[in-house]
Structure 1
Amino acid sequence: MKKIALIAGAVVAVLALTGCSKKQEAAKKGEFTVEAGKLKVAMEIGYPPFEYFAEDGKTPTGFDVELGKAVSERLGLSVEFVDTAWDGILAGLDTDRYDCIMSAMTITDERKANYDFSTPYIGNGQAIILTKDSKLSIAAPEDLKGLKVGYQAETTSDFYLEKYAAAHGFTYVQNEYDKVMNAYKDLEFGRIDAVISDSLVAVSYLGKPDTVFKQVWAGTPDDYFGVCVKKGNKALLDKINSAIADMKADGTMTRIYMKIFNVDLSDSIKDVQ
C-alpha cells in the first residue's frame, strides 16, 4: 500500500510539474511573438546598407535595423536582432527561433507559397558594378559573357543573372559568395571582373567619397522587399502592416530612406502600395 501510495504521489507530482512547466512556457510566449514583450528579428548582418555591424563590430546598423526598431516601437515591444546565415534564415523562422525576417528579402511567389509577407517597404532592381579603372565595355548583362562575375549565392542577383543568361544564350564564370561584401572586396582586388548586386546595395559602395567602384548598368526596379513572417501568423502580420502604413503616412519611412540612402525612395513602391 505504501508503495502504491508512493507511486501515486510521484505521478501527481510529475503531473503538477508538467502543468507548471506548460504554464511557465505559455507565460514566456507572447500573444503573437515567440517571447512575451519582445520582437525577435532575424537578419544576415553583412549586407550593407541594409544590415551590417557598426565600427565597434558589435552594434547592428542599417536600413532594416532602423525599420525593425521603428516597427517594434509601434507594436509596444522591445527588439532583438538575431544574426543568421542567409542559407538557414527561413529554417529558423520555421522552428520559431524568431518572429520575422527583416533582411532585404525579396517577395517572390516561391517564398509566398510557404511564408507570409508584409506590404513592400522598398523597391529594388539589379546593378552591374566594375572598378573605376576597368577597361571592360559593359552596357548590359549579356556583356558579362565569359567574364568572372561575383554575387551573393541564393539571392535575387544570383537568380536574375542565371535566368537572364539562359534566356539570352550566354555563359559567365560564376563566383558565388556567402556575403555580398566579399564579392565587392574581390572586385576591388582584381580577383573578379564584375559584381552584380541589388542596386540599393550598390548605393552604399558608390556613395563613398573615395569609392573605387562605378555602376555601368542598372535595371528597372522589379522586385520588392518585405517583412517575412511564419505562414498563418496573421496577428503579427496585420500589426506589422499597420506599423508600416503609419510610418509611410507620418514620414518615418522617408526619414529612414534619407538617413540610409540620402534620397527619398518612396517612389520605388508607389505602384504596389
Structure 2
Amino acid sequence: MTTRPASIAAGALAAALALGLSFAAFAGEFDLSPEQPGRLRADKNEEAIKAIAKDAKFARDGKFVVAVNPGLPPIATYATDSKTPIGFDPDLSQLVADSLGKELVLETVAWADWPLGLSSGKYDAVITNVTVTEERKEKFDFSTYRRDILGLYVKSDSPITSVKEPKDIAGLKVITDAGTNQEKILLAWDKQNQAAGLKPIEVQYYDDDAVKTLALQSGRADITFSVNATQAFQSAQTGKTKLVGTISGGWPVTADIAVTTRKGGGLADAITIAVNGLIKDGKYAKTLARWNLSAEAIEKAETNPQGLPKS
C-alpha cells in the first residue's frame, strides 16, 4: 500500500528538532559556511571550450547557469545563511563552469521543476543528482560524473540488521522519495514479494526531511530508502540511524548520475571533456573527498551512456 502524509504540523516539527535534527547538528567536520574557502577552482579547459557547439545557446551571455536542488546534503544543501547552495554538486558546477570559461550562476530548483526549466532554456544544465535513464535521454543529454548508490537505513536500535533482497522488507513500512528511481525499485520489490505470497510493503512519502526522520524514530516507519550519501551524512552527524543495506540506483543494473543538458543543445560533449579533465588533474577526487563521497567516484565521464531501461 502507499501513504502520502499531506501536511506538516508545528508540533511534529518541534518534535523533530528535539530529536537533534537542527541544521547545526549536521555541521560536524563539514564546512557549511556560505564563503566556502575550501572550494576548488579550475583553469580553462581549451579542449572542452572547443567542443562547445557553435550553435549552442547559453541562458545568459558569459554565464553557465546551473540548477541545483539543495535538499540532499552533502550532495547539495544550504549554507548557514540559509540561502547559499553548497555541497558537492555546487562545487562540481563551479569546476565545470571554470573549465568552460564561464561565470557560474547557481539557481535553486524543486526536483519536480527542473525538466521544464531546462527545456525552456532557463538553465544551461542541471547538476542535482539526476540518474541517466533511457526515457530521460529522449529529452535530455547527459555527461556522467558520479555513481548512483542508494541506502537502506533504520533507527540505531532497530532489530533490523540487514536488507539484501526484496523479501527482507516484506510487510515493513518503508519511506522513499516520490518520482525517483528508488521509488521504482521499491514498487518492483513489492510486486515481486506479493507475487511470491509475501506481505505487501507500506510505502510512505514525506516532503519534509525532519518529519520523515521523526516518522522513523517514532516507529511509524521501519526503514528509509533513499540516496545513500545523504543518509550516511545524517547518520554520521546524529548517530540516530544505521545502514542495513546498499543497492545500485539502477537495480538490477548499475546506474550513473550525470550533468543534464538540453537534447542536442551542444554542451554535453564539452561538459564530458571538462569532467574528464577534472578527473585527470585530481580536482574531481579532491572535491569528492571534501564531501565524503569518494566511494561514488567514476573512472571516466561518458556522454549519453546506456541508461536505466524504460519501465
Q: TM-score range by the shorter chain?
A: 0.7 to 0.9
1:228: which partner in 2?
A: 260
Of residues 257, 260, 269, the one that matches 1:238 is 269
Aligned partner of 1:204 among 224, 227, 233: 233
Equivalent residue number for residue 26 of structure 2: none
Q: Which residue of 1 aligns with 2:242?
A: 214
* Structure 1 runs not aligned, ≥5 long: 1-29
Aligned to 1:14: none
Distance 1:184 1:157, change over 3 A: farther
Is 1:251 matched up with 2:277? Answer: no
Which residue number in structure 1 is paired with residue 163 of structure 2?
139
1:116 is paired with a residue whose SS is strand
- In 2, distance between residues paired with 1:245 and 1:40? 20
Please say if residues 47 and 181 of structure 1, whose CA atoms lie closer than 8 Å, have aligned partners that are also in contact. no
Where does residue 27 of structure 1 map in the other structure? none
C-alpha change, 1:204 and 1:147, in structure 2 (3 Å) is: same
Moved over 4 A (4+): 179-182
Unaligned runs of 5+ in 2: 1-54, 303-311
Pair 220,89 (structure 1): closer, same or farther in 2 beyond 3 Å: closer
Deviation at 1:206, TM superposition (A): 2.7
| Secondary structure in 1 matching 2:273 | helix
Bigger RCO of structures 1 and 2 (CA < 8 A, at least 6 apart): 2
Q: How many residues align?
A: 239
Amino acid at match of 2:63: K
The one-letter code sitting in structure 2 at the alignment partner of 1:135 is: P
SS in 1 for 2:291: helix
1:107 positional shift: 0.6
Q: 2:33 — aligned with what?
A: none
Give the conservation status (yes or no) of the 8 Å contact 1:100–1:229. yes
CA contact (8 A) 1:152 1:183 kept: no
Separation in 2, partners of 1:63, 1:51: 6
After TM superposition, give the deviation of residue 76 of structure 1 in Å. Answer: 1.3
Q: More displaced, 140-149 or 81-90? A: 140-149
Shift, 1:220, TM fit: 4.5
2:220 — aligned with what?
191
- Structure 2 length as normaliser, TM-score? 0.71
| Alignment partner of 1:69 is 2:69 | no
1:111 pairs, out of 106, 126, 136, with 136
Cα distance per residue 1:77-131 (max 9 Å; x no partner)? 111111111112101111111111100000111111111101x211122221000
Could you tell me the percent identity over the aligned residues?
Answer: 27
TM-score (norm 1): 0.80
Alpha-carbon separation, structure 1, partners of 2:82 and 2:231? 21
2:57 aligned counterpart, secondary structure: coil
CA distance in 1: counterparts of 2:211 and 2:124, whole angstroms: 28
Deviation readout 1:150-174 (Å, 9 max, x if unpaired): 1111112111111222233352111
